[in-house]
Structure 1
Amino acid sequence: MAINKIALVGAGYMGGGIAQIFAIAGHPVTLADADAETARRNLDRLISEARDWQARGLFQPGAAALVEQNLSAAESIEAAVADADYIQEAVSEKPEVKDQVFRRIEAAARPDAIIASNTSTLPIGGLAKSLTKADRFLGVHFSNPAPFIPGVEVILHEGTDESLVPQVEELVQSTGKLTARLKDSPGFVLNRLQYALLKEAISIVDDGVASAEDVDIITRTTFGFRLPFFGPFAIADMAGLDIYRDCFRTFEEHYGERFATPEGLKKLVEAGHLGTKSGGGFVIPAGDTTDLITYRNTAYARLQQLLNELGQAPGVK
């Protein structure tokens, strides 16, 4: 089945942004919300936003016209999903609310429709229990603001029909996004990492090591500066996995089990995989890194130039 017609259930800031990017990619998208008036109000907002963002150069020329052309508002959830190939849920992060919405969707949708949740933390397998036929259900998690964040998590629960996944990935990629296919786990990847970072940041402040403002400065101007270009595995590979192992020993000595050396890191180092300098690492093979270093230095310099151009974020110390 080729995915074309899309229903977006939950047309607020998150869901509306998802609707915009599908519309810009050329798909007819029908919005549904708590009632018809809320759906129409959000439709007007999304069209106005698209015009503003195009005028400011945040959307490509012609994008606003596509949003206006391809978005429509339905009188109800049932009307929105009745003829949809793909249904994206983006209602509040409350299991009881999602349960009611999924039951309404399934009762009105075609049997061959694909249903996806934009939940950011709730296990997909748990949400699947709201459906009598959950093999066509999966997680498709966009990040806020959806029009401008490129990564999307695609999450399969145990009962997901895997033959559907390439179609969903192709649909998401048609909007210019990058997809990562994941197994079901509370918080998936994005929020497990994000919340782990926040937890440690709060602990640093609670321990009196630094203020919240200084933690934010260090985060965004040191390792956070690398993250638009390299993930944690690539960063570790370039630094040297043996160095990371030695640093973990120090952390474990002072902070205990929560900073114990991960088994995956130990095994790589013991096998002689030290990163780019010897044996390869998690994601980068060993070898000549001249081009990689040139790219890295250019990327960091260009990012700093952009930050200098944009200036400090309003209201952020």
Structure 2
Amino acid sequence: MTGAPARIACIGAGRMGRGMAHAFAYAGHDVVLVDAKPRDAAAHAALAAEALGEIRASLGQLAGLGAFEAAAIEPIMARIRVVALDDAAAALADCPFVFEGVPETREAKASALALIDAIARPDAIVASTTSTFLSTDLAGLTAHPERFLNAHWLNPAYLVPLVEVSPSPATDPAVTAAMLRLLEGAGKMPVVCAASPGYIVPRIQALAMNEAARLVEEGVATAEDVDKAVLYGFGFRFAVLGLIEFIDWGGGDILYYASRYMRQATGEERFAAPAVIERNMAEGRIGLKTGRGFYDYAGRDLDAYRRERLGAFLAMLGHLGLTRPPVL
């Protein structure tokens, strides 16, 4: 972990709250997991035991897979406590970061943000973890939009490195910067995106998953072969190269012509290239071949870049157990 440990509050003790508690406690932070529902003492005790048991089990699975020594589990767990809704005010008094992780309904979000407004410390940075609502929408539900943004974690939150950070126009840039530092210090890979439906990953994966389902529906391939193609072709390449990087790597002209062919052959507008591909083609910005595309390669050692990426591809082959010696 980089920087001093911070006390983190997670409002909502469900799957997202537990995943964040796991991630932050693992990174050395103290975490208060707040049960967002009013319960009697027995019901709260049962919920707390369930939440802590699930986190301990997840840690145990990772330790069993060799991620870290099992002796670290109890010190990590000692950093997490689950508190009842009635005790939330005292729990949040010393938390500079508060994450909202309640169910995906506007009513639940409004209730949680009103609670945070009422009990969080005046300078607390507040982040929703919604995968449905936009930060521009939820910012209107808090009295302090300048301290509010969205931090969309991908499940399982304790394992997937990416967090999509989406400020609203009202968010203080210093708040966004502080959130990025916190997440990076916890070993995450945050990216910043504008408030837009689907953010980045859900928007891309929705298109990919729907297209995969269409391939099965149309009888193009079996579900098994579609998944095999994704694992050993699509996934193999994009574990090394980003999608935009891949356009430049292969050449934007290839995407331009492939998109035209697919749109004409299928009659489906969904295969048409966006305007930026058309513009890049007209301007000669087609990637490595011309020295500029979405990225500028001026002054870059392209041979070294290609070798580094080739090495990463070979490492992926080894990870998949597909490295083979030549037949002599």
TM-score, normalised with respect to structure 2: 0.86
2:51 to 32, 42, 48: 42
Structure 2 letter corresponding to 1:220: L
The answer on whether the counterparts of 2:5 and 2:30 sit within 8 Å (CA) in structure 1 is: no
Aligned position for 1:252: 263
Aligned position for 2:325: none
Structure 2 letter corresponding to 1:219: V
Aligned position for 1:312: none
Give the paired residue count: 308
91-100 or 223-232, larger mean C-alpha shift: 91-100
The answer on whether the counterparts of 1:7 and 1:32 sit within 8 Å (CA) in structure 2 is: yes
Asked whether 1:281 is paired with 2:293, we answer yes
- In 1, Cα distance between equivalents of 2:104 and 2:75: 29
The answer on whether the counterparts of 1:3 and 1:86 sit within 8 Å (CA) in structure 2 is: no
Asked whether 1:166 is paired with 2:168, we answer no
Aligned position for 2:153: 142
Asked whether 1:71 is paired with 2:80, we answer yes
- In 2, Cα distance between equivalents of 1:256 and 1:51: 48
- In 1, Cα distance between equivalents of 2:293 and 2:14: 42
Aligned position for 1:194: 205
- In 2, Cα distance between equivalents of 1:221 and 1:65: 38
Asked whether 1:54 is paired with 2:67, we answer no
The answer on whether the counterparts of 1:245 and 1:265 sit within 8 Å (CA) in structure 2 is: yes
- In 1, Cα distance between equivalents of 2:146 and 2:81: 28
The answer on whether the counterparts of 1:237 and 1:284 sit within 8 Å (CA) in structure 2 is: no
1:269 to 273, 276, 281: 281
255-264 or 192-201, larger mean C-alpha shift: 255-264
Aligned position for 2:326: none
- In 2, Cα distance between equivalents of 1:128 and 1:62: 42
- In 2, Cα distance between equivalents of 1:262 and 1:213: 31
Aligned position for 1:29: 31
Structure 1: stretches of 5+ with no match in the other structure: 310-317
The answer on whether the counterparts of 2:98 and 2:124 sit within 8 Å (CA) in structure 1 is: yes
Asked whether 1:299 is paired with 2:317, we answer no
Structure 2 letter corresponding to 1:289: L
- In 1, Cα distance between equivalents of 2:5 and 2:125: 9
Structure 2 letter corresponding to 1:279: G
Structure 2: stretches of 5+ with no match in the other structure: 323-328
Aligned position for 1:232: 243
Structure 2 letter corresponding to 1:14: M
The answer on whether the counterparts of 1:204 and 1:210 sit within 8 Å (CA) in structure 2 is: yes
> What's the CA shift string for 1:154-195, capped at 9, x where partnerless?
101122122211111100011111111111112111101111
Aligned position for 1:80: 91
The answer on whether the counterparts of 1:141 and 1:153 sit within 8 Å (CA) in structure 2 is: yes
18-27 or 126-135, larger mean C-alpha shift: 126-135
The answer on whether the counterparts of 1:237 and 1:283 sit within 8 Å (CA) in structure 2 is: yes
Alpha-carbon distance change, 284 to 59 in structure 1, aligned in 2, over 3 angstroms? farther
Percent identity of equivalent pairs: 34
Structure 2 letter corresponding to 1:119: T
SS of residue in 2 equivalent to 1:154: strand
> What's the CA shift string for 1:115-149, capped at 9, x where partnerless?
10111232122222222222211011111112221
How much has 1:231 moved relative to structure 2? 0.9
The answer on whether the counterparts of 1:28 and 1:71 sit within 8 Å (CA) in structure 2 is: yes
What value does the CA root-mean-square deviation take over the aligned residues? 2.2
How much has 1:79 moved relative to structure 2? 4.2
Asked whether 1:155 is paired with 2:155, we answer no
- In 1, Cα distance between equivalents of 2:140 and 2:286: 44
1:5-20 map, 5 Å:
5-20=7-22
